[in-house]
Amino acid sequence: MALNVYRKSEHLPFAPRGIALGVFDGVHKGHRHLISMLMRRCEELELRPGVFTFSYDTGVGFNDRIVNHDFLMTDDEKIETLRSLGVEDIFLIPLTSEFCHLSADSFLRGVLVERLNTRLLAIGEDGRFGWKGQGDAAFLKEFARHNALEPLIVPDFLWKGRKVTSTRIREALAIGHIEEATEMMESAFCLQGIVVSGSNLGSRIGFPTANFTYPSTSALLRRGVYATHTRLDGVRWPSITNVGVAPSVREKGSDMLVETHLYDYDGDLYGRTLVVEFDAFIRDECVFSTIHDLAARVRADLDAVRALHQAGGETPLSGMSCMIE
């Protein structure tokens, strides 16, 4: 069945629905567990399965907090992942100040029940909703006692003995534990951007790179060199990527860059949109005394990344750091 994406909660086709509520950033193992339980119960009750989540186009999150390097996925990536899980309706609602100030009762009654015809609502056991998070599992159960709404409270999902959360994944990315983040998300962490012109240093030393500014809303990676794959016009190329400020050739205080070398690709990438998938951390970003030293290290990095891609496994250099001058 085709997926419908709604960016407003008004004027919707009226159909009995089961809804999973949450931010769903990263659509990780815990989210997938919640959605699978929703899908199973929707099938039993003959309800249309949907997800109610949020768009941060205003640049502001809950409690008027400015969005800055917060997200594991773009809206498009989230939509595509939810589509793959069989969800039929996605309500991607802008997080406006008016919406944030809805009380828990107003949100359940006025939005979910009256507008979306929600008959089943699934949340995590620590899920919150409504102004200042006033609504929780206990509030939902009490509301359901007096309304035609079935609560589905889903227990925490544990991986390696700990709850899987978007925060835990961000922490793994920040220290370069890419494989752990990938396993928790069940997909690679990606960065997307439009290639801009650079210093052309990579081309001069034999390793041309496609560069774009680190997305301002994307979760931050540990600065350094990574084994990656890069998607271009539907084709997935093996690549090596540096994330950082290129301290050997750029001034202090420069913006973070994503610099990617597609080592089997030959062509002009300026102005093209790239999606870089991160496979493994190789080493920390370094300062080199000479261009010769930089070129030698890049060759060694590329050899390691090629070996990783050919083996389809982990590199023995993963997590290796270098001296900063």
Tell me the Ramachandran region of residue 186: left when phi exceeds 0, alpha when psi lies from -120 to 50, beta otherwise: left
What is the C-alpha to C-alpha distance for residues 274 and 214, in angstroms, rounded to an integer? 12
Q: Residue 317: how many CA atoms within 13 Å on its side-chain side?
A: 21
Superfamily of domain 4-162 in CATH is HUPs (3.40.50.620)
Domain boundaries, the chain: 4-162, 188-311
Nearest to residue 195, comparing CAs of 227, 226, 232? 232
What is the C-alpha to C-alpha distance for residues 211 and 223, in angstroms, rounded to an integer? 15
pLDDT band per the 50, 70, 90 thresholds, residue 252: low
pLDDT single digits (tens) 82-107: 999 999 999 999 888 888 899 999 99
pLDDT band per the 50, 70, 90 thresholds, residue 199: low
Q: What angle do CA 267, 273, 277 make, to 5 degrees?
A: 95
Mean pLDDT of the region 262-275: 93
pLDDT single digits (tens) 33-53: 999 999 999 999 999 999 999
pTM over 0.85: yes
Domain covering 188-311: architecture: Beta Barrel (2.40)
Query: Taking 70 as the threshold, does the pLDDT of residue 268 lie above it?
Result: yes
Element (H, E) at 81: helix 75-84
Mean pLDDT of the region 139-151: 97
